[in-house]
Amino acid sequence: MRLSRFFLPILKETPKEAEIVSHRLMLRAGMMRQEAAGIYAWLPLGLRVLKKIEQIVREEQNRAGAIECLMPTLQLADLWRESGRYDAYGPEMLRITDRHKRELLYGPTNEEMITEIFRAYVRSYKNLPLNLYHIQWKFRDEQRPRFGVMRGREFLMKDAYSFDIDEAAARKSYNRMFVAYLRTFARMGLKAIPMRAETGPIGGDLSHEFIVLAETGESGVFCDSDVLNLPVPGDDVDYDGDLTPIIKQWTSVYAATEDVHDAERFEREVPADKKLNTRGIEVGQIFYFGTKYSDKMKALVAGPDGVDVPVHGGSYGVGVSRLVGAIIEACHDENGIKWPEEVAPFRAAILNLKQGSADTDAACEALYKELSAKGVDVLYDDTDQRAGGKFATADLIGIPWQILVGPKGLAEGKVELKRRADGSRENVTPAEAVARLTT
Amino acid sequence: MRLSRFFLPILKETPKEAEIVSHRLMLRAGMMRQEAAGIYAWLPLGLRVLKKIEQIVREEQNRAGAIECLMPTLQLADLWRESGRYDAYGPEMLRITDRHKRELLYGPTNEEMITEIFRAYVRSYKNLPLNLYHIQWKFRDEQRPRFGVMRGREFLMKDAYSFDIDEAAARKSYNRMFVAYLRTFARMGLKAIPMRAETGPIGGDLSHEFIVLAETGESGVFCDSDVLNLPVPGDDVDYDGDLTPIIKQWTSVYAATEDVHDAERFEREVPADKKLNTRGIEVGQIFYFGTKYSDKMKALVAGPDGVDVPVHGGSYGVGVSRLVGAIIEACHDENGIKWPEEVAPFRAAILNLKQGSADTDAACEALYKELSAKGVDVLYDDTDQRAGGKFATADLIGIPWQILVGPKGLAEGKVELKRRADGSRENVTPAEAVARLTT
C-alpha cells in the first residue's frame, strides 16, 4: 500500500477525552473514530489490526474443531423469555421495537439463539460433541462507556458454544477451548493468564477468565509469577487426545481475580518473592454451565440408551475488538505502538527519506514491488513529509520493520533496517532487507 | 473438512414458507435458519459461501483503489437530521432509543456517517480522490420480508463512498466502480448487466443497477441481447487509465429497468430478434449524487485556488448476502445447487461409497490428506449414509467436483470424477483426480 493512496488521518494533538494510553494511541494513529458514546468507526489502519486478530482467533477455533457460523445481531425478545434472561438482563440490554411492534434486542451474547438452532436439528448423542462459534458484533448498553474500544457499547466478540451428552464430555470440550485460548493469545504476542473467575449472568459453576496483566486493567488479580513462564502448547497439540495434563499444569499454579481470590491459599502456597498482585485486562472468558439453558429451552438429545436428556453446554468468548486496545496497553512506548508482528497492520514500512530524488524513488519502488510480490504486507511512505515526520509516523503506528532509504546510504548501496520492538538499526543492502523479511 | 465433524443439517422436506427456489434450496441444504422475520442465522455451509462472495467483492474493491474501513451498525439520529433524511426515510428505518434516551438507528446505508468522517479529517483537494468502503450488516425494516436472504431485513452490504474535487473527477471514480462491478460479478460466475436506473432515496442524477437476469427477479428489465456477450475487463485493467471506452461499450447497448424504460428508443434501436424483456435481480447499484450530502453537512475541501468547495460524492452498493440467493437462482437444477467454483462452499467432495471398507477408507483418507495439503477446499463425506444419500447430498449442496470412491472402481485403481455443472463423469486414477483439481 502506498501511503499517498491510503487513508491515515494522524492526529497531532493528544485527544483530551482519552483516559488510557490505548485509547489515546488509537485516536492519534488514525485507527478509529467515535461515532456515538461507545460506538466506533474503524478507520483503515485499525481495521487491518482487527482483521488480523479475528483471523488468529478463527484459525485457532478451527484447529480445536469448532465450526464457524454467523448469527444475526438482532434477536427476538421471546427467545430470551424462554431462558428467563429477558427480564434478568437489565438496562445493559438494548431493547428494540420494530414497525410491527415486535420486540427485538441487539444481542449481547447468543446462548439462547444457539440453543434454539441446536434443538431444531440435533436429536442424538451420535452428532455430539458439537462446538459452533461465530464472530459477530454485539451490543451492551454500558452505563458509562469509556476507555475507547476497551469498554465500548458496540463490540466484536467471538463466542463459541459447545454441546455434549454429559458433564465428562462437556469438560473435554471446555479443555479444548482452554488450550485454544492459550494458543490464540500467545500468537498475538500476549501473555494471557487463565484465572478462576465468577460466572456472572452466563451462569454455571466453572469458569476461567484469560487476563493480560496491565496497570490499566479493570480487575485486580493475584498470581504466582511462575504462571508467566508456563509453556504454551504448540500447533501440533492433539485436540483429540488427553488435554488434562496441560490444564492441570496451568491451573495448579495460583492465579485468581479479586472476585474469587482466596487470600489464605495465596498466603500458604505462593512464596513471597513470587507473589504478584497487580491489575489485568480480561480478553476472554470460558464457562461450563451444564444444563442451564437446555433444561429451560428443552434442548434434548437421545443418549445411547434411547432416553432423552438435556444437553450439557459451555460458552467461550473472546473480546476481538477489545484485544486491539489490550495489545496496545501491553505493547507501546513513548513514541507510539509496538505491534507484535502477527497482528501488525503492515509488517514492514519503506520510508523514502528524500521523496522526489531519483535514486531514493527508484530504490523504494524496487523494494516495494519486490516485497509486495513476495507477499509481505508493506506500507510505502511515498508522501512529501520530511524524514523526521516519516520516522514519527512509522513509530506511532507501530510498524515492526522499517526500511529507511536515504541518499547517503544508497550511495554505498545500503539501506537501514530498523526494528520497532527494540529500536535497533542495521545497515544492509536492499537485497538483504528483502531476504530478512521473507525468510 | 470431514462431514462427520461438520454441521450440515440437511432437510428432507421442502419447507412450505419458501416461495422461490433459492430460499427453498438454502433451507434444504442447511445453509441458513430464520431467527425472526427477515433475520437469518448463517449455518456453516451458508457462511462459507457468504465469505467467498465477500472476499471477491473485497479484492475487486481493493484492486480499483478503494480502501476498506468498518463503520458501526448503529448510528446517531442527529447525524441523519443534518442531511434531512431522518424524517424522510420512513418506517423502513429501525429507530432505537438507548438507556439514556438517546436516539439511535440501525444503519440502512452510510452516506451521512462517511461524510462526517470525511469532513473531520480531509481539508484539501490534495488528499483526493478518496474512496472508502466497508462490508457491514445493515437493517431495513421491510413491511413484508420474503424470499429468504433476497429480501431480508438484516442483510450484509458492501458500500463504497467516493470523494472528488469536481464532477469530472467524480465521474472517473464512478467509472472505476462501474468496471470493478463488472469484474466482481463475472468472477462469481454471474452475468450482471449494468442498467440505467432511478436514484431513489440516495439521490443524484446518475445511477446504474447491476442486474442478474432471472424469472424470479423483482424488476422487469428490457435489453438488447448483445449486452450478454460484451467482454468483461481482465485483471490487468488499468484503473489509473482512461476507462471511458469500457463504459461507452457497456452503456451504448440498450439495457434498462422498467422504471426508466424508454419504449420508443427500445423499439427504434434494438432489432426484433435481440429484444429481451424479462425479469432481473438487482445485485448492486452505483450512484453519483454530486454535492447532495456535502452541501448539507458542510463537507468542504480547499481547491487548488485555496477556495473551499463542497466535495462531490458517489456511493456504490453490493448486496453481499443477497448475492448468495441470486447465484442460486441463476445456478441450480432439480437436484440442487450448482455453485460456480469461485463461490462454492467446498471446491471438491470425496464420497466414500462404502464407509468402513478398508480399501475405500484408505483411498479416501489418502485423497483427503493430499488434497487438503495442496490447499484444495475439500469436504470428505465419511458418514455412514448409503451411496445414494451421499450422491444426493453432494448434488443438493452443489459441490463443483465430486470424487466417487467405490470398491469396484478401486479394484481397477480408479475413482470417478464427477462435475456438478454438467453431470459428466470420468474414470481416473486417484493421482489424476488430484492433478485435475490442483493444476
Q: CA-to-CA distance for A363 and A359, rounded, in angstroms? A: 6
Residue B270 is predicted with a pLDDT of: 96
Architecture of domain B346-437: 3-Layer(aba) Sandwich (3.40)
Residue type at position A382: D
Alpha carbons B349 and B346: distance in angstroms, whole number: 7
Q: How far apart are CA A50 and CA A144, in angstroms?
A: 24
Q: Say if residue B17's pLDDT is above 90.
A: no
Which residue, B435, B383, B380, B421, is CA-closest to B404?
B380
Taking the Cβ of residue B9 and every Cβ of chain A, the question of whether any pair is shorter than 8 Å is answered with: yes
Nearest-Cα residue of chain B relative to residue A117: B33
Strands B348-352 and B378-381: parallel
The mean per-residue pLDDT over the stretch A357-365 comes to 97
Kindly tell me if the per-residue pLDDT of B325 is higher than 70: yes
How high does pLDDT run on average in chain B? 96
A214: Cβ contacts below 8 Å, ≥ 6 apart: A279, A280, A281, A326, A329, A330
The verdict on a CB contact (< 8 Å) between A99 and B143 is yes
In the predicted model, is pLDDT for residue A205 greater than 80?
no
Residue of B nearest to A77 (CA): B36
pTM over 0.95, yes/no: yes
Give the closest-approach CA distance of B426 to chain A in angstroms. Answer: 33
Whole-number Å distance between alpha carbons of B293 and B82: 9
Instruction: Say what the pLDDT of residue B19 is.
Output: 87
Place of cell 438494548: A94
**Better-scored residue on pLDDT, B218 or A58:** A58
Which positions in chain B touch A72 (Cβ < 8 Å)? 35-36, 39-41, 137, 154
* Among A162, A121, A134, residue whose Cα is nearest residue A72: A134
Asked if pLDDT for residue A418 goes beyond 90, the answer is yes
For residue A439, pLDDT beyond 90: no
In the stretch 79-118 of chain A, residues with CB closer than 8 A to chain B read 79, 91-92, 94, 96, 98-99, 102, 104, 106, 113, 116-117
H or E segment to which residue A121 belongs: helix A111-121
Quick one: average pLDDT of A5-11? 97
Contact A222, A162 (CB under 8 A): no
Residue A203 has pLDDT above 70, yes or no: no
The CATH 3.40.50.800 portion of chain A extends over: 346-437
pLDDT number for residue B198: 75
The residues, ordered by sequence, that sit 6+ positions from B155 with a Cβ below 8 Å of its Cβ are B137, B138, B139, B140, B149, B319, B320, B321, B322
Interface predicted TM-score (ipTM) over 0.95: yes
pLDDT at A202 over 90: no
pLDDT in the model for residue A215: 83
DSSP A144: S
Q: What percent of chain B has pLDDT over 70?
A: 99
Q: Which residues contact residue B205 at a Cβ distance below 8 angstroms, ignoring those fewer than 6 apart?
A: B199, B288, B289, B290
List, by residue range, all CATH 3.30.930.10 domains of chain B. 3-337
Which residues 6+ apart lie within 8 Å of B172 measured at CB?
A: B129, B164, B243
> What per-residue confidence (pLDDT) applies to B439?
83
Confidence tier at B193 by pLDDT (50, 70, 90): very high
Rounded to whole angstroms, the maximal C-alpha distance in chain A is 81
Q: Above 90 in pLDDT, residue B204?
A: no
Alpha-carbon torsion (A330, A331, A333, A335), positive or negative: negative
Question: Taking CB atoms and an 8 Å cutoff, what residues of chain A touch B94?
Answer: 96, 98-99
Q: Is A130 on the interface with B (CB under 8 A)?
A: yes
Q: Which helix (H) or strand (E) holds B195?
A: strand B192-196
Q: How far apart are CA A429 and CA A433, in angstroms?
A: 6
Q: The domain B3-337: what is its CATH number?
A: 3.30.930.10
pLDDT over 90 percentage in chain A: 92
- On the question of pLDDT at A42 being above 80, the answer is yes
For chain A, positions 19-78, list CB contacts with chain B under 8 A: 30, 33, 35-37, 39-44, 47, 50, 65, 67-76
- Considering only CB atoms, which chain A residues are within 8 Å of B47? 68-70
> Across residues B64-79, what is the average pLDDT?
98
Euclidean distance between the first and the last CA atom of chain A, given in angstroms as a whole number:
21
What does the pLDDT read at residue B202?
A: 66
